[in-house]
């Protein structure tokens, strides 16, 4: 017996029905609030994709490479807070997912990775494209398991979704044997747990620890908040800003939390990372108490632990393994969700009679003057110069993009120069940070636009990253995603070329230069309206035209390769941070 999913759904709670494994996968995901899957089909996946045909509310997005599918699932997980789902066949299909899955792990994105293996009796017996997916993926996932029994599929998927979402989110792998997917089983009602509802039940910090943290803040003279990705995951931005406003606390972000709070908020002063802003580093350098919220204080955030930090640190995190991990001797740790614990800290300070002070207000006013000058210099660019400086490109795009525009940024120089992007609406910035995986921008932009169809979207992509994902331009057209793609084209792996110059001397480059390519012509061949821009003025006109059209478009923006992020005066690099220490 082989019934369609529609037939089964009509009477799902009135007794047992016969399901194929593929139908169980689709129906279980649907009942967890997941309605989209990204991937590349193969022989082993066909029971799943065939079941999708009978489920009109479920979408399968075909990518041109499995790596793009993993990135799309990563972006979907970050934006929606429920697992994004990617699908691949055995062997090379599965291994092509790995880089995107690693990005999801390092940036705490809930992702459900579905790989479809050979039939159970033939796994590890030299069958075609044989690979031990569980062993391969285990270092880059929170959990990895093999399913060989059709009846266990709903339960395993439920557990996987919960593991992906609870605590510190991340990717999980469910490897499905082909015979489990193609087999059938008679089961009763399916009642999967909704992972989003369970994940919302997050812990608050111990009241005694929260009270002690309040005492430390009150007794300090220059406290500050250093917020990380955990603030975004727990939707804690409003709570953080209320705390900052009530107690004169300047706020600095990690690279992974740039979009958590608006850049223009009077208490927000840039970011601190391995290559952060000079403004953010100034705030951190002058503090006598750092309250790190949802911030693991890893190598990326702390310039590989070279940045100067005060003797006392308060660290709030939902993951116990991060508390005091990198600064064990001076960290007062509070185990708890960022939003709930910040709210509790706010209440504890209020109970103790703490409040705004003259000294705190004077400190913030001085920092705001420094911030105003920093931003004045950031937008002081030559819009007519050709080729344009990277800062000019950022200003040209920002001036044309509405305040609520979602910015998707690729690894490398686009990400570094995006320090100059003014985040005007929280939750509108997405970038690969922990893994730094190139090729993120284009597929992530497609996924983000499919989720938020009405919100304007711009992707900043280096020509190096575009070369890794060029085929997904066809996906843009096929899926009719109205993305504005800005290619920061310097005919090289620009950030690495500039680091070679910075470390070894001008012109000592190897392996970083490309032939000059016209990506506007390439995109036009896919049917995407395209432009070539040599100046900021030309870029602004092109971006404005694309956004006004509400259709996809690409701009090949010619970037001056001589302007280096490693020597840009508004940024701070590893060496500058260490020199400050000395």
Predicted local distance difference test score (pLDDT) of residue 249: 96
How many of the other CB atoms lie within 10 Å of CB of 435? 19
CB–CB of 86/97 below 8 Å? yes
Predicted local distance difference test score (pLDDT) of residue 199: 66
Strands 571-572 and 553-558: unpaired
How many of the other CB atoms lie within 10 Å of CB of 128? 10
Residues of the chain with CATH 3.40.50.970: 5-199, 379-572
| Among 547, 549, 550, 554, residue whose Cα is nearest residue 529 | 554
pLDDT at 391 over 60: yes
What CA–CA distance (Å, rounded) separates 97 from 40? 10
pLDDT at 8 over 90: no
Decide yes or no: CATH 3.40.50.970 for domain 5-199.
Answer: yes
Helices (H) and strands (E) in the chain, counts: 25, 22
Give φ, ψ of 560 to 5 degrees.
-65, 115
pLDDT at 13 over 50: no
State the pLDDT confidence band at 304, using cuts at 50, 70 and 90: confident
How many of the other CB atoms lie within 10 Å of CB of 134? 17
How many of the other CB atoms lie within 10 Å of CB of 413? 28
* C-alpha distances in Å from residue 123, one per residue of 102, 127, 181: 25, 7, 14
Residues of the chain with CATH 3.40.50.1220: 207-368
Predicted local distance difference test score (pLDDT) of residue 578: 41
Which percentage of the chain shows pLDDT scores above 70? 95
**pLDDT tens per residue, range 107-142:** 999 999 999 998 878 888 777 778 899 999 999 999
> Which segment, 37-51, 193-207, 559-573, is predicted with the most confidence on average?
37-51
**pLDDT tens per residue, range 511-526:** 999 999 999 999 999 9
Fold of 207-368: Rossmann fold (3.40.50)
**pLDDT tens per residue, range 201-236:** 788 999 999 999 999 999 999 999 999 999 999 999
Q: Nearest-5° angle of CA 417, CA 418, CA 419?
A: 85
What CA–CA distance (Å, rounded) separates 124 from 337? 42
So what CATH class is 379-572?
alpha beta
């Amino acid at each position: 017996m082989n019934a369609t999913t529609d037939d089964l759904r009509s009477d799902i709670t009135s007794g047992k029905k016969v399901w194929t494994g593929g139908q169980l996968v689709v129906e279980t995901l649907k009942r967890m609030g997941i309605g989209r899957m990204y991937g590349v089909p193969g022989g082993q996946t066909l029971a799943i994709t065939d079941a999708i045909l009978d489920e009109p509310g479920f979408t399968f997005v075909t990518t041109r490479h499995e790596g793009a599918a993993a990135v799309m699932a990563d972006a979907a997980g970050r934006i929606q807070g429920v697992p994004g789902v990617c699908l691949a066949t055995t062997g090379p299909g599965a291994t092509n997912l790995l880089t995107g899955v690693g990005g999801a792990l390092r940036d705490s994105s809930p992702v459900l990775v579905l790989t479809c293996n050979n039939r159970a009796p033939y796994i590890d017996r030299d069958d075609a494209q044989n690979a031990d997916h569980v062993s391969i993926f285990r270092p880059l996932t929170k959990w990895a398991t093999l399913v060989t029994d059709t009846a266990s599929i709903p339960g395993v998927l439920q557990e996987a979704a919960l593991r992906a979402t609870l605590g510190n989110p991340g990717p999980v792998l469910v490897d499905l044997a082909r015979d489990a997917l193609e087999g059938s089983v008679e089961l009763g009602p399916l009642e999967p747990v909704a992972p989003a509802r369970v994940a919302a039940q997050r812990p608050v910090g111990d009241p005694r620890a929260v009270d002690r943290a309040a005492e430390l803040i009150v007794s300090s003279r220059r406290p500050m908040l250093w917020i990380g990705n955990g603030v975004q995951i727990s939707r804690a931005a409003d709570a953080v800003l209320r705390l900052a406003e009530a107690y004169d606390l300047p706020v600095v972000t990690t690279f992974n939390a740039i979009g958590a709070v608006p850049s223009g908020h009077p208490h927000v002063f840039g970011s601190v990372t391995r290559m952060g802003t000079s403004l953010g580093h100034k705030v951190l350098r002058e503090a006598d108490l750092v309250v790190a919220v949802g911030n693991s204080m890893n190598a990326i955030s702390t310039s590989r632990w070279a940045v100067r930090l005060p003797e006392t640190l308060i660290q709030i995190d939902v993951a116990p393994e991060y508390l005091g991990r990198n600064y064990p001797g001076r960290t007062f740790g509070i185990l708890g969700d960022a939003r709930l614990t910040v709210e509790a800290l706010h209440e504890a300070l209020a109970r103790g009679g703490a409040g705004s002070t003259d000294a705190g207000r004077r400190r913030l006013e001085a920092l705001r003057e420094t911030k105003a000058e920093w931003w004045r210099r950031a937008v002081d660019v030559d819009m007519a110069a050709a080729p344009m400086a990277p800062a000019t490109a950022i200003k040209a795009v920002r001036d044309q993009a509405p305040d609520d525009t979602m910015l998707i940024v690729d690894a490398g120089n686009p990400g570094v120069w995006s320090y100059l992007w003014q985040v005007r609406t929280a939750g509108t910035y997405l970038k690969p940070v922990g893994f730094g995986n190139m090729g993120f921008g284009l597929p992530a932009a497609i996924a983000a636009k499919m989720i938020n169809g009405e919100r304007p979207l711009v992707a900043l992509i280096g020509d190096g990253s575009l070369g890794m994902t060029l085929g997904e331009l066809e996906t843009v057209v096929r899926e009719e995603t109205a993305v504005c793609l800005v290619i920061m084209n310097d005919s090289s792996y620009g950030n690495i070329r500039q680091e070679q110059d910075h470390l070894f001397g001008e012109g000592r480059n190897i392996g970083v230069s490309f032939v000059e390519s016209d990506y506007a012509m390439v995109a036009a061949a896919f049917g995407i309206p395209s432009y070539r821009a040599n100046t900021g003025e030309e870029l602004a006109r092109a971006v404005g035209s694309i956004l006004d059209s509400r259709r996809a478009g690409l701009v090949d923006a010619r970037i001056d390769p001589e302007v280096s992020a490693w020597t840009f005066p508004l940024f701070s690099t590893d060496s500058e941070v260490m020199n400050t220490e000395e």
